[in-house]
Copies of this chain bind each other. A is one copy, B any other.
Amino acid sequence: MSAVNRVWTLASRPEGRVSVDDFAMVEAPLDTGELAQGQVRVRNRLFAVAPTIRNWLNPPERAYRGSIPIGGAIMGMAGAEVLESRHPHYRPGDRMVALSRWEEFSILSPDQAAVPPFPVPPSTTFEEAMGALSPNSLTAYFGLIQIGRPKPGDTVVVSAAAGSVGSVVCQIARILGCRVVAIAGGADKCDWLKAVCGVDATIDYKSEDVAVRLRALCPDRIQIYFDNVGGEIMQAAVDHIAPRGTIVLCGQISAYDTGEPAPGPRDMMKLVYGRVRMEGFVVGDFIDQIEDARDRIRTWVASGELVVRTDVRAGFETLPSAFADLFSGRNQGALLVEA
């Protein structure tokens, strides 16, 4: 164990677009004190650089699940290895994916975590656990299946469809017999969605009018809209939702980096008369079904039906620049940084 712990902290609250200058790396003395009962000391090995972290950079009055204070360590999911444990369920050498911090070593309290740690069995790499079997894949799985409740033949529209959640939603919807229309930015992403994810149609929001294309591509309207972005794309989908359609509220990435909250649909009467259900969810609500979900996902991956792409980068020091890339669409698949 080295005597210092490198920690990425919040240097300033981003106003609008996040910048690498909003982060500062500090070298803190390594805490080697005795653990409290229920704590584990871990080495963070692989960090998930996820859009949701952007929410935690906001001030407390705009925070949803915690606001990182100025000077505080950045929170995020990480693949972590237990070094020392005073928790009855964890032993040194155990591996988990946990809500951790952007630092080399952390002390975690699994029982108090907002997102309970997921164990990573010896047969699974951190990259798999944070790729195909990651919280993002599970988010896609539970959001589509439990909230969207697709039936074969449904038209499912997915925004941010090339992302780590969206691309899994697209493929599970296809596997379940739905017609899938994927919205993504740029021809490369759209090509990949068609060629690899097997979606029925794509809309490139950077070069096409989403509302016009949705009307053209969804003659029976939209039974399920899986919303990762909010904003104008959500509005276009609401305007074309089928009677008794469902809007799965997963994320609002269009607003994360603007400094403004993402507003709801312009006309709520459409939801009344359309008998539309909009429902938010978080993956932690389905913890009791996670093993079943992982088994199904593993089977789909093994058969080649489901492809989960990861974008693994090296170097603890690259975390802020990897994070900034998220909001410029420069990543392809789940963005992971190895420490």
**A-side interface residues toward B, CB under 8 Å?**
55, 64-65, 230, 234, 244, 249-252, 255, 261-282, 285
Nearest B residue (CB) for A279: B277
6 CB contacts below 8 A, A to B, read A55-B269, A244-B285, A264-B268, A275-B285, A277-B280, A279-B279
Nearest B residue (CB) for A265: B264
Nearest B residue (CB) for A238: B264
Nearest B residue (CB) for A263: B266
Expressed in whole angstroms, the Cα–Cα distance for A252 and B265 within the complex equals: 13
Expressed in whole angstroms, the Cα–Cα distance for A195 and B287 within the complex equals: 45
- Evaluate contact between A251 and B266: CB separation under 8 angstroms: no
Partner of A267, one of B263, B273, B281: B263
Give the distance to chain B from A175, nearest Cβ to Cβ, in Å. 25
Name the B residues within 8 Å of A277 (CB-CB): 277-280
Expressed in whole angstroms, the Cα–Cα distance for A296 and B250 within the complex equals: 38
**What are the 6 closest A-B residue pairs judged by CB atoms, nearest first?**
A264-B264, A261-B267, A272-B280, A271-B280, A64-B273, A277-B279
Name the B residues within 8 Å of A276 (CB-CB): 279-280
* Count of chain copies: 2
Name the B residues within 8 Å of A269 (CB-CB): 55, 64, 252, 255, 261-262
Expressed in whole angstroms, the Cα–Cα distance for A234 and B250 within the complex equals: 21
Name the B residues within 8 Å of A250 (CB-CB): 272
Name the B residues within 8 Å of A251 (CB-CB): 272
Nearest B residue (CB) for A274: B280
Partner of A268, one of B262, B272, B273: B262
- Evaluate contact between B285 and A281: CB separation under 8 angstroms: no
Nearest B residue (CB) for A267: B261
Partner of A261, one of B64, B255, B266: B266
Nearest B residue (CB) for A227: B268
Give the distance to chain B from A190, nearest Cβ to Cβ, in Å. 25
Give the distance to chain B from A259, nearest Cβ to Cβ, in Å. 12
Name the B residues within 8 Å of A64 (CB-CB): 269-270, 272-273
Give the distance to chain B from A334, nearest Cβ to Cβ, in Å. 19
Expressed in whole angstroms, the Cα–Cα distance for A281 and B234 within the complex equals: 20
Apart from A249-B271, A271-B279, 14 more pairs, CB < 8 Å: A234-B268, A244-B285, A250-B272, A255-B269, A261-B267, A261-B269, A263-B266, A264-B264, A264-B271, A272-B281, A273-B280, A275-B279, A275-B280, A276-B280
Name the B residues within 8 Å of A273 (CB-CB): 64-65, 280, 282
Contacts A263-B265, A263-B267; A282 near B272 (Cβ below 8 A): yes
Name the B residues within 8 Å of A275 (CB-CB): 279-282, 285
Expressed in whole angstroms, the Cα–Cα distance for A141 and B267 within the complex equals: 25
- Evaluate contact between B268 and A230: CB separation under 8 angstroms: yes
Expressed in whole angstroms, the Cα–Cα distance for A266 and B268 within the complex equals: 12
Give the distance to chain B from A256, nearest Cβ to Cβ, in Å. 9
Interface centre among A252, A281, A282, A285 (most CB of B within 10 A): A281
Name the B residues within 8 Å of A230 (CB-CB): 268
Expressed in whole angstroms, the Cα–Cα distance for A230 and B269 within the complex equals: 9
